[in-house]
């Protein structure tokens, strides 16, 4: 088989790269290991007509107009401003922390102009190390012990299965605190949900005369039989190099879906459960699209060490291995021209817009 560019992976990085390269006149072959495209953004309509995100809630948000214009070429977007409530002390409280969170938690009534001094007093009354030695110190030094205990301590335990004292301070280098009443989870200029779904959006990205897509197709099995001038690799970084420096760990999530006989289950699309139960959050998908049904589909998330990769694990060990693999890329580029793009191949945390932005940079995209 022959092409100009072989793209391994039909997630957001692979689809964006394939599209840009095809529009630059290249013949692109995309191989996807799974049966479906769109990677962890994959969504589908279930039997109740509700669009379900197979790997947890994805809300598109960006401040980058070039990125926003690019994705809007492939699907219209429903305006959607994401709000999250945290279930704590038996009630639903706005999160991330803003003036209303503080009034609710502390039973006070303060104007937005006093948020900063209120938190400063909370911090002054708390105990922590300076400089921060771990995640707990980093959060407590920003919001004080009571808010840390309520929103961060147990959530972090669930998410990472370890005490916050064992996590590095950098993870919490800046906790978003709003000194106003803005209840939104993101404050980006552009926010929305693709009307055709992420799967529809990416199918349209791949719909170009220069692009051929194969699903259920493993890059490692097929690569030797495919002649090409460049490989765009979006799979796991360590796997490309046969795990020669050891495995790069991921945190995964078990997604438990349930459809219930209620028209509406919760006030907002995502409710976090920092302290209660074993799940970290419940998503009610209907909120994203306004789809109508007598039933509603929910997803509970249970963080787990096993399963599809969701989050990189920022331990010293993993970050050191990552450096060794990145050095291998440099070395290998002479004999096999290749680009490593996206969350898995770069082993870093990216929001969706950051993935696209990174591909633009490497492939001379718009903007």
**Least CB distance from residue 260 to a copy of itself, whole Å?**
9
Q: Is the bond preceding residue 131 a cis peptide, omega within 30 degrees?
A: yes
Closest CA to 132 of 122, 142, 124: 142
**Which residue among 2, 73, 129, 189 contacts a copy of itself (CB under 8 A)?**
189
Choose the stretch contacting a copy of itself; rule: CB under 8 A; options: 1-9, 95-103, 244-252, 309-317: 95-103
Q: SS3 of 123, please?
A: helix
Tokens 């060794």 locate to: 324
Residues 6+ apart with CB under 8 A from 208: 18, 19, 22, 23
Q: What is the DSSP letter of 247?
A: P
Token duo for residue 314: 């920022």
Cβ-contact 53, 299 below 8 angstroms: yes
Q: Does 278 bind a copy of itself (CB under 8 A)?
A: yes
Token duo for residue 336: 């096999």
Choose the stretch contacting a copy of itself; rule: CB under 8 A; options: 2-10, 109-117, 199-207, 219-227: 109-117
Q: Does 157 bind a copy of itself (CB under 8 A)?
A: no
**Which residue among 90, 209, 225, 242 contacts a copy of itself (CB under 8 A)?**
90
- 46-85 residues in contact with a copy of itself (CB under 8 A) are 65, 79, 81, 83
Number of residues that bind a copy of itself (CB under 8 A): 36
- Judged by beta carbon, residue 33 or residue 181, the one nearer a copy of itself is 181
**Least CB distance from residue 29 to a copy of itself, whole Å?**
36
Cα separation, 308 vs 257, whole angstroms: 16
Choose the stretch contacting a copy of itself; rule: CB under 8 A; options: 86-94, 160-168, 345-353, 358-366: 86-94
Q: Does 180 bind a copy of itself (CB under 8 A)?
A: yes
Q: SS3 of 235, please?
A: coil
Q: Does 162 bind a copy of itself (CB under 8 A)?
A: no
**Which residue among 191, 231, 269, 297 contacts a copy of itself (CB under 8 A)?**
191
For every residue of 303-363, which 3-state class applies, written as one string? EECCCCCCEECCCHHHHHHHHHHHHHHHHHCCCCCEEECHHHHHCCCCCHHHHHHHHHHHC
**Which residue among 290, 316, 330, 364 contacts a copy of itself (CB under 8 A)?**
290
**Least CB distance from residue 304 to a copy of itself, whole Å?**
15
Cα separation, 351 vs 357, whole angstroms: 10
Q: Does 103 bind a copy of itself (CB under 8 A)?
A: yes
Q: Does 34 bind a copy of itself (CB under 8 A)?
A: no
**Which residue among 113, 133, 229, 333 contacts a copy of itself (CB under 8 A)?**
113
Closest CA to 58 of 198, 179, 161: 198
Q: SS3 of 107, please?
A: coil
Cβ-contact 234, 11 below 8 angstroms: yes
Choose the stretch contacting a copy of itself; rule: CB under 8 A; options: 97-105, 201-209, 247-255, 345-353: 97-105
Q: Does 277 bind a copy of itself (CB under 8 A)?
A: yes
Q: Which spans of this chain sit near a copy of itself (rule: CB under 8 A)?
A: 65, 79, 81, 83, 89-91, 99-100, 103-113, 178, 180-184, 187, 189-191, 262, 275-278, 290
């Amino acid at each position: 088989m022959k092409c100009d560019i072989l793209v391994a992976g039909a997630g957001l990085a692979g689809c964006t790269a394939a599209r840009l390269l095809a529009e630059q006149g290249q013949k692109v072959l995309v191989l996807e290991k799974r049966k479906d495209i769109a990677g962890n953004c994959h969504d589908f309509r279930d039997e109740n007509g509700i669009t379900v995100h197979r790997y947890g809630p994805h809300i598109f948000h960006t401040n980058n107009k070039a990125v926003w214009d690019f994705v809007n070429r492939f699907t219209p977007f429903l305006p959607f401003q994401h709000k999250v409530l945290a279930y704590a002390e038996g009630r639903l409280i706005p999160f991330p922390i803003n003036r209303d969170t503080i009034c609710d938690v502390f039973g006070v009534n303060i104007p937005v102009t006093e948020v900063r001094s209120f938190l400063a007093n909370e911090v002054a009354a708390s105990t922590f190390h300076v400089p921060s030695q771990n995640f707990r110190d980093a959060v407590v030094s920003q919001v004080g012990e009571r808010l840390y205990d309520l929103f961060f301590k147990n959530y972090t335990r669930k998410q990472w299965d370890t005490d916050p004292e064992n996590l590095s301070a950098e993870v919490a280098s800046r906790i978003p605190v709003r000194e106003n009443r803005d209840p939104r989870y993101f404050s980006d200029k552009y926010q929305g949900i693709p009307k055709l779904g992420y799967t529809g959006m990416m199918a349209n990205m791949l719909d170009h005369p220069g692009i051929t897509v194969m699903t259920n197709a493993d890059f490692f099995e097929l690569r030797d039989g495919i002649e090409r001038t460049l490989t765009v690799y979006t799979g796991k970084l360590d796997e490309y190099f046969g795990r020669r420096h050891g495995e790069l760990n991921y945190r995964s999530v078990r997604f438990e879906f349930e459809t219930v006989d209620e028209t509406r289950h919760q006030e907002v699309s995502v409710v976090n459960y920092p302290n209660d139960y074993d799940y970290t959050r419940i998503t009610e998908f209907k909120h994203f699209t306004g789809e109508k049904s007598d039933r509603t589909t929910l997803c509970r998330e249970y963080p787990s060490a096993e399963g599809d990769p969701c989050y990189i694990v920022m331990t010293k060990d993993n970050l050191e291995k990552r450096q060794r693999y990145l050095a291998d890329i440099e070395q290998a580029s002479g004999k096999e021209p290749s680009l490593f793009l996206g969350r898995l191949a770069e082993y870093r945390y990216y929001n969706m817009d950051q993935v696209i932005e990174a591909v633009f940079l490497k492939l001379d995209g718009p903007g």
